[in-house]
Amino acid sequence: MVETPHRESRSRDDRSALPDRVGVWAGALTAALAGGLLVIGLLTPVRAGPFCTRDCLVYPYSGAGSLFPGDSFWMVPGILLAPAVLVLEARLLAAVPADRRIFGRVSGELASGYVAAILIAYLTQILAVTPMVRSGHADSVAFFTQYNPNGMFLALECTGYLLLNASLLFVGLALPRTTRTEEYLWGLFGVAFLASVATGLAVALTGSALVVLEIGLITITTLTLILAGLGSAREFHRLSRSPGGPELPPGAPSVPRDGL
**Does 5 score more than 90 pLDDT?**
no
Which of 23 and 8 is assigned the larger pLDDT?
23
Average of pLDDT values for 188-206? Answer: 97
Q: How far apart are the first and last CA of the chain?
A: 37
In 152-254, alpha helices (H): 152-174, 180-206, 210-241
Banded model confidence at residue 1, pLDDT cuts 50, 70, 90: very low
Considering the chain, what percentage of its residues have pLDDT values greater than 90?
79
Average of pLDDT values for 207-217? Answer: 95
The answer to whether the CB of 165 falls within 8 A of the CB of 198 is no
Taking the C-alpha atoms of residue 66 and residue 83, their distance in angstroms, rounded to an integer, is 30
Model pLDDT for residues 122-146, shown as the tens digit of each residue: 999 999 999 999 999 999 999 999 9
**Does 11 score more than 60 pLDDT?**
no
Give residue 252's pLDDT. 41
pTM of the model: 0.87
**Does 26 score more than 60 pLDDT?**
yes
Give residue 242's pLDDT. 73
Banded model confidence at residue 71, pLDDT cuts 50, 70, 90: very high
Considering the chain, what percentage of its residues have pLDDT values greater than 70?
87
Taking the C-alpha atoms of residue 224 and residue 88, their distance in angstroms, rounded to an integer, is 13
Model pLDDT for residues 95-122, shown as the tens digit of each residue: 899 999 999 999 999 999 999 999 999 9
Model pLDDT for residues 151-162, shown as the tens digit of each residue: 999 999 999 999
Range 93-98, long-range pairs (CB < 8 A, 24+ positions): 93/171, 93/174, 94/19, 95/256, 95/257, 95/258, 95/259, 95/260, 96/174, 96/175, 96/176, 97/176
Average of pLDDT values for 57-82? Answer: 93
Give the residue extent of every domain in the chain.
16-241
Taking the C-alpha atoms of residue 61 and residue 78, their distance in angstroms, rounded to an integer, is 23
Among residues 127, 134, 122, 128, which one has the least CA distance to residue 63?
A: 134
The DSSP 8-state label assigned to residue 178 in this structure reads -
Among residues 106, 97, 139, which one has the least CA distance to residue 256?
A: 97
Give residue 65's pLDDT. 87
Average of pLDDT values for 67-76? Answer: 94
**Does 79 score more than 70 pLDDT?**
yes
Give residue 12's pLDDT. 43
